[in-house]
Amino acid sequence: MNKETKKEVLITKNNHPIKEITYQDMYQLKDTFDQISSWKEALAVLNSFFNNRDVMPFNKKKITKEFHASSYIFNAFYQDFLNNATILEKQIEELKNRPKVKVEKSFAILLDSKGRELYFYND
């Protein structure tokens, strides 16, 4: 009796191969997504400032000060967004290039009385 090992690629119901993705990979993606999402409140403040068309009476000093502060907030967001977008792109590319999950299946080959090979798998 010969004992051999065969590696089989796991596939989904739609015949797509399953990639090796760990919980650590998912946590890293979630962390990057959370960093981008953390800007929601600051962006709401910027949106409010730039959508406020009814500035009466016109206070040039106040508008200049708010514009200056808003430009710092936007610049910080923009730099962080570019950095996180690059990180996210690298993480996704790394996951796309991961090997497919392979499962080892042991099986035995026996010969019947007529010399034909019979395969017995051990799941």
| 30 touches 82 (CB < 8 A) | no
Rounded Cα distance between 112 and 98, Å, is 42
How far apart CA 17 and CA 10 sit, in angstroms, is 6
Parent domain of 54: 28-98
pLDDT, position 106: 65
Q: What pLDDT was estimated at residue 1?
A: 46
pTM of the model: 0.59
Q: What percent of the chain has pLDDT over 70?
A: 76
Selection from 18, 28, 7, 10 nearest residue 90 by Cα:
28
Return d(Cα 92, Cα 98) in angstroms, integer: 10
Same-domain pairing of 39 and 65? yes
Question: Does residue 92 share a domain with residue 109?
Answer: no
**The predicted structure's pLDDT at residue 77:** 93
Same domain, 14 and 32: no
Instruction: State yes or no: pLDDT of 34 exceeds 50.
Output: yes
Closest CA to 19 of 100, 103, 102, 104: 100
Q: What is the pLDDT of residue 37?
A: 92
pLDDT digits over 42-56, tens only? 999 888 888 876 756
Q: What is the pLDDT of residues 54-111, one digit of tens each?
A: 756 778 888 889 889 989 999 999 999 999 999 999 999 998 888 887 766 666 677 7
Q: What pLDDT does residue 76 have?
A: 93
Same-domain pairing of 41 and 86 = yes
Same domain, yes or no: 90 and 45: yes
Q: How many domains does the chain have?
A: 2
